[in-house]
Amino acid sequence: MRIEVCKEGDLHSLLGQILDELRAIRGLLEGRPAAPQQAKNSAAPALSAPPTDAAPTAQHAEAYLHRYLTGRQLRIVEAMSLEPENEVVRGRMQLAHFMGQHYALTQGMLEELRATLQCPRPVFVDLAGMPEKAISVLTSTGKRLSDLYMLQVYEYHRKERCIRLKARRQPYVHNYLSGGWFEMYVAQEARKLLGARLLLAKRNVKLEAAGGAVCEADLLLVVADPRGDLRLAVLECKSANALYDDEPRQVKRLNSLLNLGMQRSAVVFPDPPSPAFADRWFQETGSQVIGREQLAQFLQGL
């Protein structure tokens, strides 16, 4: 008799999750954010806050993540902190946030550099006609890239109103300029936007399944909702100019292994994707597909 009750409860929970997902999909199609009650019933289960008046802590989040992954027969084999001890890496993260905040200005320079990564060559950025604020952002970006050993050449020609740059041919430079900087930017934005609700965050996470297969997550979050319940969420950060055909399949597999629905998983691009592109990726991944400006709305729904 007890087994029958358990099965009935599981079926009721599953039907509730399916209904919530359908409501969320309808909301996205109509251009509306997911309703609060839908977010509470996401596919990812919550862990109730400790039976005290104390708010959940990072230790509770670590315990929750361990139990959650163990229940899915997964374990973390590699991950990076949002607060690295290495001074150079901290500098790269700070620059990533600066470039993301001024992406409308830095986009052209970044795209020019990224196009030369396979065979580095000089890049010229024309500053003619630009306001002083824009020139300040671009020269600061170039100078900081040089100081962080990303550039072999950085020259600001004030009279000619141009910047000359050349990327170093190093793996860490390739990773950073081809999209790693954007992952660092999103991680810091998530921390800023979620504030005290973000109890645990790991980036560049490698997860190993029971059979030995490995999958990766750009950003893994444990977030406390307004009631103090804990939720797992994943953010994948993609550069529109550096996509591969198998990436949607990889994101879908990650969502399947973690049992995450669209309300707990998002693929973030620097610019808002076109409706057709977003719909195709949603169909293939099961994740929300958003631009960086929509990140705050997604995080508010966690």
For residues 267 and 288, what is the distance between their CA atoms, to the nearest angstrom?
6
The chain-wide mean pLDDT, for the chain, equals 86
pLDDT tier at 17 (50, 70, 90 boundaries)? Answer: low
pTM: 0.81
For residues 261 and 254, what is the distance between their CA atoms, to the nearest angstrom?
11
Query: What values do phi and psi take at 209, rounded to 5?
Result: -85, 170
Closest CA to 120 of 149, 143, 151, 99: 151
* pLDDT tens figures, 214-251: 999 999 999 999 888 999 999 999 976 556 678 899 99
Number of H helices, E strands in the chain: 11, 9
pLDDT at 3: 36
Q: Where are the alpha helices (DSSP H) in 30-57?
A: 36-40
Provide DSSP, 213-282: -EEEEEEEEEEE-TTS-EEEEEEEE--TTS--TTHHHHHHHHHHHHT--TTSEEEEESSPPPHHHHHHHH
pLDDT at 253: 93
The pLDDT of residue 163 is above 90:
yes
What 3-state DSSP class applies to 157? strand
* pLDDT tens figures, 20-61: 566 555 555 555 444 433 334 444 555 554 555 578 999 999
For residues 266 and 289, what is the distance between their CA atoms, to the nearest angstrom?
6
pLDDT at 50: 52
* pLDDT tens figures, 140-160: 999 999 999 999 999 999 999
